[in-house]
């Protein structure tokens, strides 16, 4: 079973916030119409907020809690609303201030995570990339999204430094990569050959499990999906074409964990995985 559409996490969070605001209104004894009249906005706005169809602004929340004599809850509600907005972050917005900052922003999460489950259907997992491959990926990002490239080499260095988590010894990494990723040329054939040789070497590390999902595999379970990373059981980061999605709803995290297990069930490991990687290297030569 594939995970729910990525936007559902954001929508569930909006609905949860709307439910909290509805409870505050009801606890104050006000109807939706009375709250709207006191706030000076149309009654439909109250309904849209309570049903998660409209995201309340900081001002909306302050007015709401003031009318309902629940001012003490305002700051917590505002923080929740801002957190919802940050769940779905446009790539262009992330990259506006430079590529290095994007790489640095995830470092604390990588350092505190103990178990990684990483599925890639687009490119090589970042933790297993060579510097040349990373540079080629970031050059593609610059070309596709018109991102600034003034700090390209700094961004590459940060990603390489982030790979120290694999060598730390107290974290575990399960990687799943679709075979077509091995055969998709990022940069040029020489870069790909070096990247694939590095992939074989990385797979021997005690902390690393590398599974390759062969092309032509029966897909009764484990359909191809968007690339994602499960960080312990705390959150999932999903790579969309236009944005990065952070999933924190426990039920949706469980769906991604289940999807990872299904994909792992059709992957090959060890000598069989190395054979697919070696075949990909031979194809470039």
pLDDT bucket at 76, cuts 50 / 70 / 90: confident
Give the whole-angstrom CA distance, residue 8 versus residue 14.
Answer: 10
Q: For 183-195, what is the mean pLDDT? A: 96
* pLDDT above 70: percentage of residues in the chain: 86
Q: Is 57 helix (H, G, I), strand (E, B) or coil?
A: coil
Which structure tokens are listed for 99?
């590529």
Domain with CATH 1.10.260.40 in the chain: 7-87
Q: For 118-144, what is the mean pLDDT? A: 92
Q: Is the pLDDT at 12 greater than 80, yes or no?
A: no
- Beta strands 172-178; 208-213: pairing state: parallel
Give the whole-angstrom CA distance, residue 103 versus residue 157.
Answer: 9
- More confidently predicted of 158 and 249: 158
Domain with CATH 3.30.870.10 in the chain: 96-284
Among 34-48, 50-64, 169-183, 243-257, the least confident range? 243-257
pLDDT bucket at 91, cuts 50 / 70 / 90: very low
Give the whole-angstrom CA distance, residue 239 versus residue 122.
Answer: 9
Residues in the chain: 285
Q: Is the pLDDT at 90 greater than 60, yes or no?
A: no
The mean pLDDT value of the chain amounts to: 87
Among 53-67, 85-99, 246-260, the least confident range? 85-99
CATH code: domain 96-284 is 3.30.870.10
Q: Is the pLDDT at 3 greater than 70, yes or no?
A: no
Q: Is the pLDDT at 96 greater than 70, yes or no?
A: no
Give the whole-angstrom CA distance, residue 71 versus residue 19.
Answer: 17
Q: Facing residues of 209 across strands?
A: 174
- More confidently predicted of 14 and 269: 269
Pick the CATH number of 7-87 from 3.10.20.600, 1.10.3720.10, 3.10.310.30, 1.10.260.40: 1.10.260.40
Q: For 27-50, what is the mean pLDDT? A: 94
- The pLDDT of residue 99 is 65
Q: For 86-94, what is the mean pLDDT? A: 54
Q: Is the pLDDT at 134 greater than 90, yes or no?
A: yes
Instruction: For the full predicted model, state whether its pTM sits above 0.75.
Output: no
Q: Is the pLDDT at 176 greater than 60, yes or no?
A: yes
Output the CA–CA distances (angstroms, integers) from residue 112 to 159, 170, 188, 228, in the order listed.
Answer: 16, 10, 35, 18
Q: For 229-242, what is the mean pLDDT? A: 84
Q: For 155-172, what is the mean pLDDT? A: 90
Q: Give whichever of 4-8, 72-76, 249-253 has the largest mean pLDDT.
A: 72-76
pLDDT bucket at 9, cuts 50 / 70 / 90: low
């Amino acid at each position: 079973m594939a995970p729910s559409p990525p936007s559902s996490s954001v929508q569930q969070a909006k609905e949860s916030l709307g439910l909290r605001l509805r409870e505050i209104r009801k606890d104050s004894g006000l109807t939706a119409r009375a709250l709207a009249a006191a706030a000076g906005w149309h009654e439909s706005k109250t309904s849209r907020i309570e049903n998660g169809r409209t995201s309340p602004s900081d001002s909306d929340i302050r007015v709401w809690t003031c009318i309902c004599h629940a001012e003490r809850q305002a700051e917590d509600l505002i923080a929740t609303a801002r957190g919802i907005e940050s769940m779905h972050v446009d790539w262009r917005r992330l990259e506006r201030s430079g590529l290095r900052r994007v790489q640095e922003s995830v470092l604390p999460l990588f350092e505190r995570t103990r178990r990684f489950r990483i599925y890639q259907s687009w490119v090589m997992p970042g933790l297993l990339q060579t510097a040349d491959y990373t540079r080629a990926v970031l050059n593609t990002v610059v070309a596709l999204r018109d991102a600034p490239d003034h700090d390209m080499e700094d961004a590459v260095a940060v990603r390489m430094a982030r790979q120290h988590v694999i060598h730390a010894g107290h974290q575990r990494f399960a990687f799943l990569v679709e075979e077509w990723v091995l055969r998709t040329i990022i940069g040029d054939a020489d870069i790909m050959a070096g990247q694939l040789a590095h992939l074989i070497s990385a797979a021997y590390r005690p902390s690393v499990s590398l599974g390759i999902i062969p092309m032509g595999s029966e897909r009764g379970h484990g359909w191809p999906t968007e690339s994602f990373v499960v960080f312990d059981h705390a959150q999932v980061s999903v790579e969309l074409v236009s944005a990065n999605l952070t999933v924190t709803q426990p039920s949706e995290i469980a769906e991604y964990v289940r999807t990872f297990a299904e994909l792992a069930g059709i992957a090959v490991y060890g000598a069989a995985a190395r054979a697919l990687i070696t075949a990909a290297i031979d194809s470039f030569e």
